Structure formats: C-alpha cells, structure tokens
Structure 1
Amino acid sequence: MKALLRWVLLVLIAGLAVQLYFVGRIALMALLDPQSTAFQRSEIYRVVTEHGSLKWRQQWVPYPELSDNLKRAVIVSEDATFIEHEGVDLESLEKAWEKNTQAEQRAEKAASRLGSKVAPAGSGKAAKPPKIVGGSTITQQLAKNLFLSGERTLMRKGQELVLTLMLEALLSKQRILEIYLNNVEWGEGVFGAEAAAQHYFRKPASKLSAYEAARLAVMLPRPKYFETRPGSGYLASRASTIATRMGGVEVP
C-alpha cells in the first residue's frame, strides 16, 4: 500500500512539475517571441522525411505592423467572441458538439444503407466519414499549436484547456493574437501572417486589404487544401462574407 501511495505521490509531483514548466514558458512569452511551436517542429520533421528538403517561410512581425484587416478577419472567421471570453467559448463548443453528433448519426445511417445493398465488386464505394467541426477559440488553437501533439485523447484535451487558461491568465489578448498570427500555418511550410501575405499576395502583412485578409482567414482551418485550390468558389464566397462582417469587429 505504501508503495502505491509513493507512486501516486510521484505522479502528482511530476504532473505539477510539468504544469510549472508550462507556466514558466508562457510567462516568458510575455517578453520573448517563441522561436517555434510543437506543431511547426512536427511539420519540419514530416516535410524533411517525406521530401528530403525543407522550404520554410516565416518572419515575425510586431503586432502594430500586422494589418488590422487581418486581425478583424481572423476574429470573425475563427473566434467571434475572442475579446469577451476567458479562453473557452462554451456556446461554440456546445454547437460544435451538436453538429458533430448529427454528422456521426448521418454517417452511421449512410453506412447502414450502403451495407444493406450489394455494391459491385471493385466499385470502391464506401460511406463518407463524418465531417468533424471544432469549437476551439483562438487561445485554444494557440495552446495546442505551441505545446501539444496532434493526437485526440481526453488527456491531451484536458491539458489543452489547462494551457488555455494559463495563456489567458499570463498574457494579454493582444499578445495572444500576436503570437497566433505569427505562428499559424497558412500552407505547406508557410507560417505566420508575413509569410502568408508575401506568398499569396506579394505584399507585407501590414498592407493587406479587407478582402485579402478575409481570404487568408478562411484558409485557416484547411490551409494546405486551399493553397492548392486558389480558384475555389467557396473560398471566394466565404471571404466576401467575412469581409462584410469585419467593420464592427473590435481588435485588442
């Protein structure tokens, strides 16, 4: 029994040490720009492993030099209540949960109908997997990208929430948005607003128009997909919608 209690105590101490490490890392970010994120390091490994070489575009731009158009567009597209919430938007999470549940139910029905029919041999027909949507805030996305792996487990999600609360407690909204915009992925090896603005529009991030900023914001959930589909009708239509909503958005 004593051995078990000793192991439990060691696990708790180790867990506390990890959290204190994260607190220290985040506190330093109030003064120092992060050099890389966990997601970026995993992408470097993947690209080098698959292609044997690395094309990397990233340049840190201070918050005042980032276009307000881009700040507004990303808030409208990714996290409409960014200014108000304290890291987690419970209403968005609830809506995402409902949509995902409905999508899974539709996928199960489709699979059931497909299973009840005899598909021709070699037809390759299969039920489409459900489209999963997220309810993560900008702060949650930053927490995940900075520190965590891409696996989806209950423990990782719990750590993401803890890190989100740490970010909100130790950093200002302005600093959170600054770090996010300078590190988020916008294509294969394209990270941060400056690299994205130069890659797609051949101009600095400070000069992005409302529509250009909206196009970049719409790309964020699937940047590699939209990078290869610049003529996407959805991208253009959604960007126009975002651009019309940006006027009344407050930026930190």
Structure 2
Amino acid sequence: MASTTLNWRGHAWRLLALLLLSALALQLYFVLRIALMVVVDPQSTPFQRSEIWRLATEQGRVLWSQEWRNRDRISPHLQRAVIASEDAGFNEHSGVEWDALEKAWARNQRAETVAARRKVEPKVVGGSTISQQLAKNLFLSGERTAARKGQEFLITFMLEGLLSKPRILEIYLNNVEWGEGVFGAQAAAQHYFHVEAHQLAPAQAARLAVMLPAPKRFEQRPGSPYLVHRAASVHARMGAVPLP
C-alpha cells in the first residue's frame, strides 16, 4: 500500500514538472518570436489565418487584402488618430491600463446583470491597450478565459520589454482588422478611400480609427451617426497626440 502511494506521488510530481516545463517552453517560444520581430515583420496572425479559413468555408472564396507598410509610409494622422481613439495613454503606460480595465470590468458586470434580466446577450466593453490588442492578434484565440487573459498580460509585457513603442504601433497598424478580409493601414486606405496609407487626411484617419472596435459592422454602416460623431471627436483630439 505504501509503495502504491509513493508511486502515485512520484507520477504526480513528474506530471507537474512536465506541465511546468511545457509552460516555460511556451513562454520561451513567445519571447523568441517577439525578439525576432525587432528586425522581421510578422507576415500573418492566428486571427488572420482563422479569417481566411472562415471566408473559404462560408463563402467558397477568399477576399483578402494586406500590404505591409513601414511606419514612415503610414500617415501620421492615422497613427495619432488610432492612439487618440484606442489608447490615449499609449506613450506612457507599460502595456496595461489597470484603471481602464477596472472600469471596463465594472461596466461589463452591470451589462451582464441587465442582460440577464432581459434575457439577451450582454454587450461586452473592452479596456485593452494597443499592446494588449497586438498580443491577442499575434498569438491568441478569441476565447474569454482567465488563463487566456493571463497569457495576454504576459505577452503584453514581453512586447513592451522587447519592442519599442514605435515598433509596437507599426506592427499593430499593419495587422489590425479593418473590414471583411481587410487587414492593415494600406489595405484600409485603399478599400475605403482609394489612396495610399501615407496619403490619408486627418478626417479619413479619424474615421478609420473609430472603426477599429467593430470594423465589420461599421463597414456595413459607413454613415452611422455614431461613427460620424465619434470620428469628429477623435479628429478634434488627435492633433494634441504626440507620436512615440
């Protein structure tokens, strides 16, 4: 009996050690991938690949548009507009805005309570920074679990520790979704305004920045009153945003 107990404990410790080694290996993989991004532009993300598969299976075709543009070939108006709209503290924080996350959590709790009473799906509000969004876009799935959120924080701190703010913004602007099969600033500029990314005017940049939380929805409703008013607000603020 004692021998059986010892064997069970030995197996448990070996399993725990294996799990810890696997977790460490995964983190090392993320670190190496991010370190490589200092000099190598990432060509695709898990989310983009999942979208390719979805479009292929649902529509039987792949409408895809993405062209990498270095930061100096992306309109500074768009860079300022995205920071003003998505992450006003981008230049100062270390990857996570804890106050914004706390406020978003409180709003979501209230939304879930209201939705439960009305028996509808709650409208989830995010509090993610540009660095957190990039962490999700580059490496993670869209599931909402505590483990995935914890991994998001770790990758976010890796991004902030290994890459400069300008590089984080450059990678983000080249990979973020701007519509059905539309990824990155260059594709968005051509799709919506038929210009190059570096030619975007302030008002056009503000409009694109406001689309980011729900690009597919706003692509279908380009004249949405919310989109128009929110873009005007971002346009008014973006001139005061310093570039990283």
Per the normalisation by structure 2, the TM-score is 0.95
CA offsets 1:46-73 (integer angstroms, 9 cap, x no match): 1111111111100000011111100111
The equivalent position to 1:164 in structure 2, one of 141, 156, 169, is 156
Unaligned runs of 5+ in 1: 112-126
| Secondary structure of the structure 1 residue equivalent to 2:178 | strand
1:56 equivalent in alignment to 2:64: yes
Deviations 1:114-140 (A, max 9, x none): xxxxxxxxxxxxx43221100000000
| In structure 1, C-alpha distance between the alignment counterparts of 2:42 and 2:21, rounded to whole Å | 27
Match of 2:121 in 1: 129
| Number of residues of Structure 1 aligned to a counterpart in Structure 2 | 236
The aligned residue for residue 87 of structure 2 is 79
User: 1:166-199: per-residue Cα shift (whole Å, max 9, x none)?
Assistant: 0000000000000000000000000000000000
Instruction: Give 1:105's aligned amino acid.
Output: T
Of 20, 24, 31 in structure 2, the residue corresponding to residue 16 of structure 1 is 24
Superposition misfits of 4+ residues, deviation over 6 angstroms: none
Q: Distance in 2 between matches of 1:132 and 1:26?
A: 29
Mapping for residues 133-212 of structure 1, pairs under 5 Å: 133-212=125-204
Tell me the equivalent position of 1:220. Answer: 212
Cα offsets for 1:151-174 (capped at 9, x unmatched)? 111111111110000000000000
Q: Report Cα offsets for 1:183-217 as digits up to 9, x if no partner.
A: 00000000000000000000011011111001001
**Does the residue aligned with 2:48 lie in a helix, a strand or coil?**
helix
Distance 2:10 2:107 in 1: 48
Whole-Å separation in 2 of the counterparts to 1:179 and 1:159: 19
2:11 aligned residue (3, 16, 31): 3
Q: Secondary structure at the match of 1:251?
A: coil
What TM-score do the two structures reach when normalised by structure 1?
Answer: 0.92
- Give, as a single letter, the amino acid of the residue that structure 2 aligns with 1:50: E
Distance 1:15 1:107 in 2: 37
Q: CA deviation at 1:232?
A: 0.9
How far the C-alpha of 1:106 sits from its partner, in A, is: 2.0
Indicate whether 1:29 and 2:37 are aligned: yes
C-alpha separation in 1, matches of 2:135 and 2:239? 28
Q: CA RMSD in A?
A: 0.8
Three-state SS of the structure 2 residue aligned to 1:186 is strand
Q: Residue 118 of structure 1 corresponds to which residue in structure 2? A: none
